[in-house]
Structure 1
């Protein structure tokens, strides 16, 4: 019919503006059938059931509302379902192929994403298109901020301090033009990227993330990893200098940076003062190494999956979001 848009009743229309025009994105409806996953009374549910209810997903769904991830001529999968699937891929260290297989097979995965027991689930290519859309719209930062804001209200009671550090992650390929080589004393050279992280000193919840090529100096990129009102900021000697210290003070914080030397007339006394300054900082900032260890051992962040700085940013922020979910669940459980 001239002047009208029509879609089949089994899909949902989402009207999205592009360049001042509006068009209808046809989306599949999922979870319309009864969730026939068996009677779970008297049995312990999946940990994914707890993760599914810890935040309000409406702001996340709103942030994703203008994404169209459909193959040509097909209705699109709901973006929130695909985003939740991306989190599953981090928690269980799954490739796109393995994720599609697991989502088709595992009841807990289906429940978490909103699929009922017998309806079809996305193929690998849907995740590829969805990730491309996240990169094009730079939504990884938006999603990280929206989710972390909610999780912080559950996990952080009083802000006292911030841990800042960086970790190097190998590139997917030495042909990645956005990555750079870096060589640290006593270690093999690495071609890759660097994730700069600011985490709450008490809860180890990640509050800010910045991603750069691996050869960018920690102190130079450090200000981008600072949350607002950071409190005392604990960092190693790579963050010495006015650039980082001034950024901390500008946000209302106090720098607590490891120093490598002090002036003094008596060597023994000077070394004692140096140790007295550095040891408390080392004890606190060492907690951030557990974050990086979890990311690399459990969440597959030993190497980037895809090429390019923008896609590296998506992978690191998805990992930080997934980590924050699990960390918050642990904090809430310990407090009850």
Structure 2
């Protein structure tokens, strides 16, 4: 397999002094050699050309998430911005990938089902740096509109008084203290939370905080099977009168709401800052890739913030 060699020349950008970027700190968070091993079998070169190093392309996809860039804008920015080049490993004189390289690379990732392995591997490294004691897990789901209503792997769903949405649902398990995303399960939007939520549970989740959509026995059994304790919002309790019953409900639900609400900030960051308002490509496999790339990018930024506070 023929691959291009990059980063061999010194970084020189018009003689200007190198400016520090947060991307330089993000690059130091991960052992990229292990990521390179997971991607070792990928060659997504155009016919007759040497392949771009896959770890450089993977880093470029993270840049696309952080800066909400299309493939065209990503290729332009990578060619132009010194901090982007450094993060991906390109020297100032190296050529950079064209947009079609990112298309071929995503196709290779989805064909091999590597999105889950990449998420698990990178997240394990980040958890080792940021999570000291595991006390609990936040579980919730967010609906993401499909790229097209013609996507036959997406489904329609309507929630309360909101308009119906055609898309997918990301079920997420996040650490209750750090808000790092630990597990993800992606399904069509009409799959019930209680049915898919068990796939978003990490091992030994501790207390599991979830809203009333997860109150069925299927999810509770999944929590117990993982060694956790369900802490799920309930909608009814027995009491001698209405006042006593409401007081018991409030005493149980309010602490759960207070802790569980932290996961809404995760979804807000994904959608407002990282472009996950809509899936970019068709099909469940590509939707899963986009969601997990977004989660990796979020976890890296979140870990950097946690470590900065701890320093």
Query: Which interval holds the TM-score relative to the shorter structure?
Result: over 0.9
The aligned counterpart of 1:31 is 7
SS at match of 2:171: strand
Structure 2 CA distance, aligned partners of 1:156 and 1:212? 28
Q: Kindly state the Cα deviation for residue 221 of structure 1 after the two structures are TM-superposed.
A: 0.2
SS in 2 for 1:186: coil
Deviation at 1:313, TM superposition (A): 0.3
Whether 1:222 and 2:205 are equivalent positions in the alignment is no
Structure 2 Cα separation of the partners of residues 331 and 70 of structure 1: 38
What is the aligned counterpart of 1:152 among 123, 127, 150?
127
SS at match of 1:164: strand
**Aligned counterpart in structure 1 of residue 61 of structure 2, from 86, 106, 127:** 86
Number of corresponding residues: 310
Q: Equivalents in 2 of 1:220, 1:246: separation in Å?
A: 11
Structure 1 position 241, deviation (Å): 1.3
SS at match of 2:173: strand
CA RMSD of superposed structures (Å): 0.9
Q: Larger relative contact order (C-alpha < 8 A, sep ≥ 6)?
A: 2
The separation in 1 between residues aligned to 2:160 and 2:94, in whole angstroms, is 54
Aligned match for 2:114, one of 139, 142, 145: 139
Structure 2, unpaired ranges of 5+: none
Task: Kindly provide the CA deviation profile for residues 37-74 of structure 1, in whole angstroms up to 9, marking residues without a partner as x.
Answer: 45647x5x100000000121111000000001101111
Determine the structure 1 residue equivalent to 2:88: 113
Q: Deviations over 1:70-97 (max 9, x none)?
A: 0111110000000000000000000000
Q: Report Cα offsets for 1:134-180 as digits up to 9, x if no partner.
A: 00000000000010000001110000000000000000000001000
Instruction: Measure the CA separation in 1 of the matches of 2:17 and 2:177.
Output: 36
Q: Distance in 2 between matches of 1:226 and 1:119?
A: 43
| Aligned residue in 1 for 2:265 | 290
Please name the residue that 2:222 is paired with: 247
CA distance in 2, matches of 1:311, 1:224: 19
Corresponding position of 2:304: 329
Shift of 1:252: 0.7
